[in-house]
Chains A and B, each alone.
Chain A
Amino acid sequence: MVLKYHMAIKDPILIRNAVPPDLDAIIEIDNVGPKEEKPAYWRGIFAHYGSGEKKDRIFLVAEAGGDIVGFIAGEVRAWEFGSAPCGWVFALAVAPKMRESGIAKRMFNEICRRLKGAGVTTVRTMVNRNHKVTLSFFRSQGLRTGRYIEMEREID
């Protein structure tokens, strides 16, 4: 059986720059990593990406009826791993009760629009291969396995 948690959206969805009062809601929606480390992590992310003043650093939230229901963050990175300037999306989440209603797609479209405005024509991300829903989402947006292969090993 497939569980669906679609919720009809009564309020219009607003995609806007994140602001400091959004941080608690963002931490609540973020379900990756240890809970106790999140406030410091997200404060750091906000300090680096959240001002909205730099075109190449983007931190957006989705707001519905006054509630934060999703967030996305990314930036332009140049010459990492020898890659030409490229947009990276490094965080994306939607509140569980609001999933499957197009919010992630709207946030992703908006960050792509802004990344393009910052001068890049490729967007890239990295997802744990066990996170099937997230991978399926990016696939549905046209992303495919890129030219770079992530490699890793345990350090003895």
Chain B
Amino acid sequence: MKLNKGSLFALFAVLELAGNADRQLSTTDIAGKYGISTHHLAKVMRNLVHSGLVQAVRGVGGGYRFAGNVSRTTLLDVIQIFETLESELDMPNHGNSAGEPIVAELRSITEEIDDLTKAILDTITLETALNSTRLRREAATAGRSGGVAAGGGAK
């Protein structure tokens, strides 16, 4: 699976905002934290606002705020705003039918893989992703300070 930049930036933004739903952040805040393009992120944020996952707050101190349901929204919900996650076979189109059964079989296999990928992404809620991320951060901190790494979902 290869996520496009839009999906990745959206996941950065949504997880950052969902981590504290009362907080407002600007695109500059988020882009600065993750070292990504403010210009590209601004486009992503417009799509997220349109989807209803994020709310734009106008005025002084304005920015964006999470507007979804952290325990119901899944990673797939966010990714599918930006891409379909369908595998593509880069087949030359020269009218030769000899390869058709092979292409049909490969399509069937890629569909199986795509279905599994989507099934996994559709069961990871933002809340679970945030918890796993937090455990990873704590494990990394403990590792740096010589402590014992935490277990749990951040494997």
Contacts and interface: CB of A to CB of B under 8 A. Distances in A.
A84 to B, nearest CB: 18
Interface residues of A, number: 12
Contact of B152 (A2, A129, A142): A142
B16 interface: no
B123 A142 contact: no
A136 interface: yes
A145 interface: yes
Interface stretch (B21-29, B34-42, B125-133): B125-133
B138 interface: no
B85 to A, nearest CB: 15
Contacts of B72: 2
A132 B118 CA distance: 11
Nearest to B132: A142
Interface in A122-154: 129, 132, 135-136, 139-142, 144-145
A140 B128 contact: yes
Nearest to A145: B120
B18 to A, nearest CB: 14
7 residue pairs, one from A and one from B, having the closest CB atoms = A142-B153, A135-B123, A129-B119, A140-B128, A136-B123, A2-B69, A2-B72
10 contacts: A2-B69, A129-B115, A129-B119, A136-B74, A139-B123, A139-B124, A140-B128, A140-B153, A142-B151, A142-B155
Interface of B: 69, 71-72, 74, 115, 119-120, 122-125, 127-128, 131-132, 151-153, 155
